């Protein structure tokens, strides 16, 4: 039976990078004999324009029926009015909540071919391999919100169960890596962080005694991600901290355009997307980097469909293209050959077909 993949291109550069990921999935299907049913839906600004809703009911049904969802990006200046009743970003939050994808997994790896694309010195980023696990459906983004003319508030709330389940994902994944987990919080100030730290200590002592657990305040983590990134293995944190830290960590890899992500529920069904936004300033110019989206498709095959060999094939193809010197503008260097979005997709597909 064919796996059903929901495809949500979204806004800005989203459709451009999604197109290249779909070409890669098609190449994999042809080479491996697999069959993927691809069904597209609307989300974000495109959905607002078409239906008046950022997360229309047809898209909700598709997301709940699909074995996995591949997302581009949402948002843009056209829909940025703070007073608007519907905003593209709310569509994304509603999608995550509807799918119950509470654990966001973001691998951050550096490769020699892209050392020159990072603003950090090569010796500082050599052999970095971090797996960031971000809690995705709780915290301040989903808490009660209030605002009047002179005051506003956003409630940050976490339950023990919410904290335990995302920490458990970090522990399971650390078992297959170097066995070290860094839990990031702000326990010197926030009660939610104090609960987080307490739950982490209890859970790891009970379920993962063989792993090394350390706690780090979020401001220190932000500093150490740049000063000693090789020392991190698995980093787990709450929603807002994870959002900020992973964007910072993308500079280790050279560009936000390089990093994929997987957002998983308890059964491994997931939402897959690059970590970058809709980049409206470059939309339609054909220069967006599709690698993060292509690598997100690889994570989809691995985590939701159990196709490890096919996922690895895609990742190897992307790395071989980068090693050949072909780069999109965001990661271009003096010695590289600059490629358009489509040309980068062409090169990855050619590697897969070779």
pLDDT of residue 119: 86
**Active-site position among 247, 272, 330, 346:** 247
| Collapsed DSSP state (helix, strand, coil) of residue 214 | strand
Q: Kindly report the pTM of this predicted structure.
A: 0.92
pLDDT of residue 274: 96
Residue 328 contacts residue 288 (beta carbons within 8 Å): yes
What is the DSSP code string of 175-200?
A: HTTTSEEEEEE-TTT-HHHHHHHHHH
Place of tokens 């950090």: 120
pLDDT of residue 256: 87
**Active-site position among 94, 186, 265, 346:** 186
Residue 118 contacts residue 110 (beta carbons within 8 Å): yes
What whole-number distance in Å separates Cα of residue 296 and Cα of residue 275?
Answer: 9
Q: What is the pLDDT along the chain (354 residues), one digit of tens a residue?
A: 789 999 999 999 999 999 999 999 999 999 999 999 999 999 999 999 999 999 999 999 999 999 999 999 999 999 988 778 899 999 999 999 999 999 999 999 998 888 888 888 989 999 999 999 999 999 999 899 999 999 999 999 999 999 999 999 999 999 999 999 999 999 999 999 999 999 999 999 999 999 999 999 999 999 999 999 999 999 999 999 999 999 899 889 888 899 999 999 988 899 999 999 999 999 999 999 999 999 999 999 999 999 999 999 999 999 999 999 999 999 887 678 999 999 999 999 999 998
Within 10 angstroms of residue 186's Cβ, the number of other Cβ atoms is 17
pLDDT of residue 58: 98
CA-nearest of 72, 61, 62, 67 to 34 is: 67
pLDDT of residue 81: 83
Q: Is 186 a catalytic residue?
A: yes
pLDDT of residue 83: 78
What whole-number distance in Å separates Cα of residue 254 and Cα of residue 342?
Answer: 20
pLDDT of residue 305: 96
Place of tokens 């970003």: 89
Q: Is 81 a catalytic residue?
A: no
Q: Is 243 a catalytic residue?
A: yes
Q: Is 247 a catalytic residue?
A: yes
CA-nearest of 164, 154, 161, 162 to 136 is: 162
pLDDT of residue 52: 96
What whole-number distance in Å separates Cα of residue 322 and Cα of residue 112?
Answer: 10
Give me the domains of the chain, ranges plus CATH numbers.
1-107+255-354 (3.40.718.10), 119-253 (3.40.718.10)
Q: What is the pairing mode between strands 103-109 and 260-264? A: antiparallel
Tell me how far CA of residue 282 lies from CA of 16, 49, 116, 248, in angstroms: 11, 20, 22, 21
Residue 179, both tokens: 């066995």
Q: Which long-range contacts (CB under 8 A, 24 or more apart) does 31-34 make?
A: 31/313, 31/352, 31/353, 32/307, 32/309, 32/310, 34/3, 34/307, 34/310
pLDDT of residue 29: 96
Residue 24, both tokens: 């890669």
Residue 204, both tokens: 């790891």
**Active-site position among 19, 116, 154, 243:** 243
Q: Is 148 a catalytic residue?
A: no
pLDDT of residue 118: 86
Number of alpha helices (DSSP H) and beta strands (DSSP E) in the chain: 12, 14
pLDDT of residue 298: 98
**Active-site position among 58, 127, 219, 281:** 219
**Active-site position among 141, 154, 265, 346:** 141
């Amino acid at each position: 039976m064919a796996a059903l993949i929901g495809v949500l291109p979204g806004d800005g550069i989203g459709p451009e990078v999604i197109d290249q990921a779909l070409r890669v999935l098609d190449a994999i299907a042809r080479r491996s004999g697999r069959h993927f049913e691809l069904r597209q839906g609307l989300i974000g600004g495109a959905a607002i324009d078409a239906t008046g809703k950022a997360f229309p009911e047809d898209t909700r049904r598709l997301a709940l029926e699909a074995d996995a969802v591949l997302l581009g990006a949402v948002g843009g200046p056209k829909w940025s009015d703070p007073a608007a009743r519907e905003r593209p970003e709310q569509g994304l939050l509603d999608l995550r909540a509807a799918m119950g994808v509470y654990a966001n997994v973001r691998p951050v790896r550096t490769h020699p071919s892209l050392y020159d694309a990072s603003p950090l010195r090569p010796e500082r980023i050599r052999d970095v391999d971090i797996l960031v696990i971000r809690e995705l459906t709780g915290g301040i983004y989903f808490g009660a919100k209030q605002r009047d003319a002179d005051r506003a508030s956003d409630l940050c709330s976490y339950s023990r169960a919410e904290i335990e389940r995302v920490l458990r994902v970090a522990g399971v994944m650390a078992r297959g890596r170097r066995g070290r987990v860094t839990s990031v919080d702000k326990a010197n100030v926030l009660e939610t962080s104090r609960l987080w730290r307490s739950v982490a200590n209890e859970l790891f002592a009970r379920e993962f005694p063989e792993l090394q657990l350390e706690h780090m305040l979020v401001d220190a983590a932000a500093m150490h991600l740049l000063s000693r990134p090789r020392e991190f293995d698995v980093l787990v944190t709450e929603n807002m901290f994870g959002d900020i830290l992973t964007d910072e960590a993308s500079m280790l890899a050279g560009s936000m355009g390089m990093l994929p992500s997987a957002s998983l529920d308890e059964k491994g069904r997931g939402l897959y997307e690059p970590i970058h936004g809709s980049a409206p300033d470059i939309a339609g110019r054909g220069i967006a980097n599709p690698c993060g989206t292509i690598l997100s498709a690889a994570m989809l095959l691995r985590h939701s469909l159990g196709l490890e060999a096919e996922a690895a094939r895609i990742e190897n193809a992307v790395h071989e293209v980068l090693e050949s010197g072909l780069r999109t503008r965001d990661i271009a260097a003096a010695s590289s050959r600059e490629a358009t979005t489509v040309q980068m997709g062409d090169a990855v597909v050619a590697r897969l077909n070779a």
